[in-house]
Structure 1
């Protein structure tokens, strides 16, 4: 019974997202009301808010939600933060990204790009994600280095995501876009780790 209830909740959640994405795409984020989304999704307004606390949170599903700090803090003994992050994003490229709904994702990203308010909110979420990552790195590397590392990692990951969306928007199949992302992820973390090793060598030499 619990499993059935959870499946129904997830189906309702996905239906709300799909309906909201369609309405945002057709009319723009600002022109659509929460009442219209709830009515089109055939749920009560209170039910919609039980899944999404605001219209912005509905439009920004997935933005800044990747728990980078958690990946670092939960890494295996002997594994460096960059190794843990590389393994995490390698698994994403090899797994769920290859099976996503391309049209829905592209539509949602265009809604965000077309709305200054949503773009600003997305940047705020990404900033919070970067600050949490910096805190997770501070114990091992110290505050100044941790902040710089987090900034470099966040900028690299944002570039990878932009490249992935660019390939999807250019009509690449999710499997192909994920394959390209996998290769770019390895290159990106090679560059990050080389710079990281250089900084460690520099610190030891001081």
Structure 2
């Protein structure tokens, strides 16, 4: 008997989340009200807020599985992927993030306004994965430095910060429509990495 209320609570939360994800996907985040989510899930509006602090938390929660898989794959890539083409190794950290944000512009906007998000468990989860992405970028460049794949004397942390800033720029560009397609976005990103890293790769081959 003790477990039944907990089971009902989980089922209610999952139903709210499923309906929120469906409505966000169908009509967009801004056009979807909490009232509409509550009605679709067959619960009171107060019940929605008992499980999720706000509508943004619902959007984050709807992407939880994607975030968790992304973080696991990202850490494995940085630590264990053999370094062939240097720029492909670094691009492998960022391309899955770019794909996620291209597929969900509303979710991409959360990345752009991280500092304004209301605190809560779902927000902390999202911010934690964003921080993990930045840490992976730093570690990726540090690994390249340790293996002699960067220009001699290059600061790996500074390079990582530069690429992170450019990553942010590409998300903004996609949100504004100036980098509307995948091809345009990846061509710009790959071009930057090629310009920054090709000298280091060539130097490493000469050693």
Give the match's secondary structure for 2:181. Answer: helix
Structure 2 residue ranges without an equivalent (≥5): 1-13, 147-153
Contact persistence 1:160–1:181 (CA under 8 A): yes
Instruction: Indicate the RMSD between aligned Cα atoms, in angstroms.
Output: 5.1
CA-to-aligned-CA distance 1:28-71 (integer Å, 9 cap, x gap): xxxx76xx57524417769x96xx89865433446895654433
Q: How far apart, in 2, do the equivalents of 1:63 and 1:165 lie?
A: 20
Whether the aligned pair in 2 keeps the contact of 1:69 and 1:136 (CA below 8 Å) is no
Task: After TM superposition, list the pairs within 5 Å mapping 1:74-93 onto structure 2.
Answer: 74-76=80-82, 78-79=83-84, 82-86=87-91
Structure-2-length-normalised TM-score: 0.51
Distance 2:186 2:115 in 1: 30
Rg bigger for which structure?
2
Distance 1:181-1:123 versus aligned 2 partners, 3 A rule = same
Structure 1 residues 106 and 43: CA distance shift in structure 2, 3 A: same
Distance 1:190 1:43, change over 3 A: farther
Structure 1, unpaired ranges of 5+: 1-9
- Give the C-alpha shift of residue 130 in structure 1: 0.8
TM value normalised by structure 1: 0.51
Worse-superposed segment, 128-137 or 60-69: 60-69
- What's 2:20 paired with? 16
1:182 partnered with 2:186: yes
Secondary structure at 1:79's aligned position in 2?
Answer: coil
Q: How many residues in Structure 1 have an aligned counterpart in Structure 2?
A: 170
